[in-house]
Amino acid sequence: MEEKKLDTNSIIGFILIFGILLYMLYTNQPSPEEIEAKKQAEIEQKAVEKQPKANQETLVTTPEDFSPDLVNDSIQLEQIKTKLGAFAYATSIATESDKETVVTTELLTLKFTNKGGFLSEVKLNEFVNHDSIPIYIIKDGNSVFNINFGTTDNRILNTQDLFFQPIVTNNGDNTVVSMRLKVSELQFLEYRYEVKPNDYMIDFTIRSQGLDNLINGAYPINLDWQLKSKRQSKSISYENRYTRLTYEYEGGKIDKLKQIGDDEEVEKDLSWLSYRQHFFSNILVPEKPISSATLISNDLVENEDIDTLFTKQYASKFALNFSGGQINDNFGLYYGPTDSKVLKQYNKNLEESIPFGWGIFGWINKALFIPLFSWLSSFLPYGIAIIVMTIMVKIVLSFVQYKQFLSQAKMKILKPELEAIREKYKDNKLKAQQETMALQNKAGASPLSGCLPGLMQIPVFYALFMFFPTAFDLRQKSFLWADDLSSYDAIANLPFNIPFYGDHVSLFPILAAIAIFFYMKMTTGQQMASQAPPQEGMPDMTKMMKYMIYFSPILMLFFFNNYASGLSLYYFVSNLISIGIMLVIKNYIINEDKVLAKIEVSKSKPKKQNKFQRKMQEMMEQAEKQKQLQNKKKN
């Protein structure tokens, strides 16, 4: 009998069949959406399993299932009742699904929609955006406010799909809007809004009445609050940089989600959370801290060169209080400017949602620059107020500049002697360092004495860097050719986009860059004059200083082209004043002959070393002895 063997064609066939099977398995695997739907179904099934066995079918509703337009059809009405159970009553009395209740105050125009019972539109009456269009924090479906809950007859409902009945009353000068999701006239879930005149904060209550036998407490009663922040400023990239989800938690800690990209965090004991849109904010303030919440921020600006309507999308999810079979939660809803003066009035620490800077930088802004600028701008035009504040800051810091220049002058005078020491001990670096330190100590001159005053200016520099982009008072205030000191001052629009620069030319950054160039030319020239030649193996600081003369202005030109013109105005004026102060110090205050005479007198006197100098001296002496011993051993 002939033995059967697998030929080449058979092997290839099996391989092809195996490949086809693998492909079919790969293409038929569930999508992420299907996986997520399966997870949700499992959660709902677990909630059902906790209920009596009489009715095991969970009914999840969708918006098209219960449109009030179907109520007139008796068959459709029965279907709605099947889907909604006791909550079908709310749909049966909702004759106008798109009806909105409008409340207007001096500050806000609010629209409450019947479907979902929440705010469908929030307009700030006193403000317009860069195109002179009114500021809308909520409009055209950019906000979601939904409570997801289970019922005792195994339904999963979403309030955003159900219909509330509005009741408007007055409480003194306040307007009360009650939106009720009714099961009967005496049983309902209520959103109660109390709108006050001349106030950006709305008192908001979520409560239930008579629903203890209808709401399933075994299923989480979650609030989902979302917002897509609408673009309001001229520069998308600049506005997006200061648009962030900020929150206070654990009794006073302040934190933020990522500035760029997507982020998600779970935080506990939230005192408030802010959807900040640079100069405008939507803040939720619970009466009692939220025990735990999931916070999400998604960056919607994928390409800053392309015009866009939205900057970021925020979402917060947390469980509502459910006690004694009832829901009862109180909140404050803030819709208004991100203005520290306004936010401070609520005594909730809400002003900390503004990025003043961390640590000492924020303290300088809150304790000094914010009150100072507020006072100056109360009687001066805003551009003049910036100039006056700059002058005041520079006068206060002028002693620092004097100390720097004096130190450089001393080092310049000592330079010939320092070079002589290095030449004399060129074969003994440790001895050269010892003699250099001894000479500087006797003369009262040290490179560090010139660096330390410069370091003292850094906190002020950074504090002001954070102050100008967040100063609400500068928004849409003009000065000279700048029509908005909180945005860039374009004098020309380019037909193309330059990477890292933009599609426009701002004038104040150009002026600031020129002023920085001349200031660095003066200061760096003085430093190079006092700089000793580099030792072997050490970097040439003189060359680095020369590069910085040109690098710093270029950095200023590119980095600040899209920044607030108020900040560029400050740097321009600040460097002009610094140049003036240096010329006065150099020509009228510091006399190098007198400085030299003082150095000679100081050198002739015995100089007592401090602990640090003594320690350094001892370390150098020990190093010198070790080197000598090593040389003896070699010889």
Percent over 70 (pLDDT), the chain: 65
Q: What is the pLDDT of residue 325?
A: 79
For 478-505, give one letter per residue: b (16+ CB within 10 A) or e.
ebeebebbbbbbbeeeeeeeeeebbebb
Averaged pLDDT for residues 226-252:
87
Q: What is the pLDDT of residue 81?
A: 62
Question: Per mean pLDDT, which range of 210-214, 276-280, 478-482, 597-601 is the poorest?
Answer: 597-601
Q: Indicate the domain borders of the chain.
A: 375-604, 607-635
- Residue 359 CB contacts under 8 Å (≥ 6 apart), including other chains: none
Q: What is the pLDDT of residue 397?
A: 78
pLDDT in tens, 150-197: 888 888 888 988 889 899 998 888 999 999 988 888 888 999 999 999
Q: What is the pLDDT of residue 177?
A: 93
Residue 314 has pLDDT above 90, yes or no: yes
| Alpha-carbon distances, residue 146 vs 45, 206, 335, 424 (angstroms) | 21, 12, 18, 82
Q: Which of the listed ranges 42-46, 62-66, 193-197 does the model predict with the highest average pLDDT?
A: 193-197
Both tokens assigned to 283: 């803040």
Q: What is the pLDDT of residue 27?
A: 52
pLDDT in tens, 187-236: 889 999 999 999 999 999 999 888 888 888 788 889 999 999 988 888 88
pLDDT in tens, 507-530: 999 999 999 888 888 776 555 444
Q: What is the pLDDT of residue 436?
A: 67
Both tokens assigned to 112: 């409450």
Residue 346 has pLDDT above 90, yes or no: yes
Averaged pLDDT for residues 431-445:
64
CA–CA gap between residue 546 and residue 568 (Å, rounded) = 24
* C-alpha dihedral (517, 522, 525, 529), degrees to nearest 10: -170
pLDDT in tens, 370-418: 999 989 999 999 999 999 999 998 888 777 767 766 666 666 666 666 6
CA–CA gap between residue 36 and residue 31 (Å, rounded) = 9
Which parts of 585-606 fold into alpha helices (H)? 592-604
Residue 3 has pLDDT above 50, yes or no: no
Beta strand 143-150 with 222-230 is antiparallel
Q: What is the pLDDT of residue 60?
A: 44
Averaged pLDDT for residues 59-68:
47
**Confidence tier at 6 by pLDDT (50, 70, 90):** very low
335 or 29, greater pLDDT: 335
Q: What is the pLDDT of residue 395?
A: 84
What is residue 335's three-state secondary structure? Answer: strand
Averaged pLDDT for residues 501-506:
84
- Residue 460 CB contacts under 8 Å (≥ 6 apart), including other chains: 364, 393, 397
Residue 1 has pLDDT above 50, yes or no: no
Averaged pLDDT for residues 251-273:
90
Q: What is the pLDDT of residue 293?
A: 92
Q: What is the pLDDT of residue 305?
A: 61
Q: What is the pLDDT of residue 46?
A: 46
**Confidence tier at 435 by pLDDT (50, 70, 90):** low
The average confidence (pLDDT) of the chain is 77
- Residue 138's φ and ψ, nearest 5 degrees, are -120, 130
pLDDT in tens, 580-593: 887 877 777 665 55
Both tokens assigned to 422: 């290095």
Averaged pLDDT for residues 432-436:
67
Averaged pLDDT for residues 539-561:
74
